Each structure stands twice: as C-alpha cells, then as structure tokens.
C-alpha cells in the first residue's frame, strides 16, 4: 500500500516539475525532480519492508534496485545542475552519465545474483549491449544528433543499458519469475526516455516541451515500474 502511495506522490510532483522545466525555472524544478526521485526510492523501500520475510532470498535484487535508484537520483541531480551552471556543463554531463551507468550495474548484479547466470547468458547480454551501441551510433546522423566528445561515454552507457535489459529478459526466460519481466518492461520504458533525452542534449530543435515531457514521463515511469516490479515476485 505504501508503495502505491509513494507512486501517486511521485506523479503529483512530476507534473509540476515538467511544467517548471519547460519554462526553464530550473531551481524550483530541481527540488521537484529530486522529490520525484525520492518517491520511487521510497516506493522500493516500502516494498522491501513489506517483503522483509523474503529478504534472505531476494536480498541482492532488493539492494541492487534500491542502491541503483539512489545512483539514478544522483544522475538526475547532475544532469539538471549542468543547465544551471552552463560554464561547467561538461563535467556535470559526465557525472550524470557515470551515475546512471553505475545505476545499471547495480540492477544487473541484483538480477544475476538473484536469478543466476551462465556463460551463454553472458554472451547474449554482451551481444545485446553491442547491438544497442551499434544502433545508437549508426542512427546518430539519421536522428540528427551529434554526440561529439561525448561519443565514448554514450557508447559505454548504451552498452550497459543493453546488458541491463537483456539481463532482466533472460532472468525471466530462465526462471519465469514475473518480477524480472516487469522490470524488463520498466527498463525498456527507461530506454525510451533516453532516446528523447539524446535529442534534447545532442540534437537541434529537439528541446520542445513535448520532448522534455516525453523524456521525464518515460524515465520516471520506467523507474516506478522497476520499483513496483518487486510486487510481482513469485
């Protein structure tokens, strides 16, 4: 019940944040963005507490998602700060990418330590990561974006994202635990947010209110889906 309450609160803080962000009211918007991120972290914590009896079995998954989302909050913070301090934009961009990279590392470790892995699974995950990197870099010109000096970190982040999604999908295929499937769906929605984000960061004419709204709705929708995936544990 608490997880649902925090999800509703997250929706209530997300809507005004999007309005403020589109109006470039960055400081009050940052507070609302952090509040929304805190809501998905609290939703995860609420589910963990409600399932404390299963902590021994799912401790790596619980902690992987919870700690990963804390790094997601840090990524949110750095990426908004870059717009508030444009003279120092580049280091904050890197800090945001690195924070989200670490977020996915914790998701992957939580999944694999909970549901198990083998070398065939590792090969599939590596292939998925490579495929996403190739897709992102190959569509740079068709999507009218320019990664410039960020091409390396974009490639690394794309790779870990591909591994993350495939880890969740393979965990579901191997165990049929519904949580892994719901988490995979959340990660795909999360990925959609980054496709919009790449346009606002690296594209031209893609910083319209629609682009910002789509980015944040997909991002927070993905994170809340990952939190609530723990309700689907079997």
Closest CA to 46 of 2, 109, 95: 2
Give all strands (DSSP E) within 95-182, no chain letters: none
| Residue 147 lies in domain | 2-232
Domain total in the chain: 1
Report the alpha-carbon distance of residue 193 to residue 219 in Å, rounded.
5
pLDDT of residue 210: 80
Closest CA to 61 of 110, 105, 104: 110
| Res. 206 pLDDT band, cuts 50 70 90 | low
Q: Phi and psi dihedrals of 24, rounded to 5?
A: 60, 35
Q: What are 142-200's pLDDT values in tens digits?
A: 888 888 889 999 999 999 999 999 999 999 999 999 999 999 999 999 999 988 888 78
| pTM exceeding the 0.85 threshold for the entire prediction | yes
Q: Which helix (H) or strand (E) holds 161?
A: helix 151-175
Ramachandran sector of residue 192 (left: φ over 0; alpha: ψ -120 to 50; beta: rest): alpha
Report the alpha-carbon distance of residue 159 to residue 108 in Å, rounded.
12
Those residues with Cβ within 8 angstroms of residue 66's Cβ, 6 or more apart along the chain or in another chain: 41, 44, 45, 48
Q: What are 92-133's pLDDT values in tens digits?
A: 999 999 999 999 999 999 999 999 999 999 999 999 999 999
- Helix 55-84, helix 89-115: angle, nearest 10: 170
Q: What are 163-175's pLDDT values in tens digits?
A: 999 999 999 999 9
Angle at 64 between CA 18 and CA 30, to 5 degrees: 20
Structure tokens at 229: 């995936």
């Amino acid at each position: 019940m608490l997880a649902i309450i925090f999800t509703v609160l997250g929706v209530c803080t997300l809507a005004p944040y999007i309005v403020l962000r589109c109006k470039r009211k960055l400081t009050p918007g940052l507070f609302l963005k952090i509040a929304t991120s805190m809501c998905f972290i609290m939703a995860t914590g609420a589910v963990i507490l409600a399932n404390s009896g299963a902590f021994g079995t799912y401790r790596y998954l619980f902690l992987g998602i919870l700690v990963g989302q804390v790094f997601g909050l840090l990524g949110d913070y750095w990426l908004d700060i870059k717009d508030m301090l444009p003279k120092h934009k580049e280091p904050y961009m890197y800090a945001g990418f690195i924070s989200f990279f670490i977020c996915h590392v914790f998701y992957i470790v939580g999944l694999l330590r909970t549901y198990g892995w083998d070398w065939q699974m590792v090969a599939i995950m590596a292939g998925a990561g490579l495929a996403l990197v190739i897709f992102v870099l190959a569509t740079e010109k068709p999507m009218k974006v320019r990664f410039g000096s960020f091409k390396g970190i974009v490639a690394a982040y794309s790779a870990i994202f591909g591994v993350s999604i495939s880890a969740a999908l393979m965990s579901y295929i191997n165990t049929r635990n519904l949580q892994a499937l719901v988490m995979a769906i959340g990660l795909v929605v999360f990925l959609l947010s980054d496709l919009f984000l790449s346009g606002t960061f690296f594209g031209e004419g893609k910083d319209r209110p629609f682009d910002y709204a789509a980015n944040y709705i997909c991002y927070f929708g993905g994170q809340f889906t990952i939190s609530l995936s723990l309700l689907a544990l079997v």
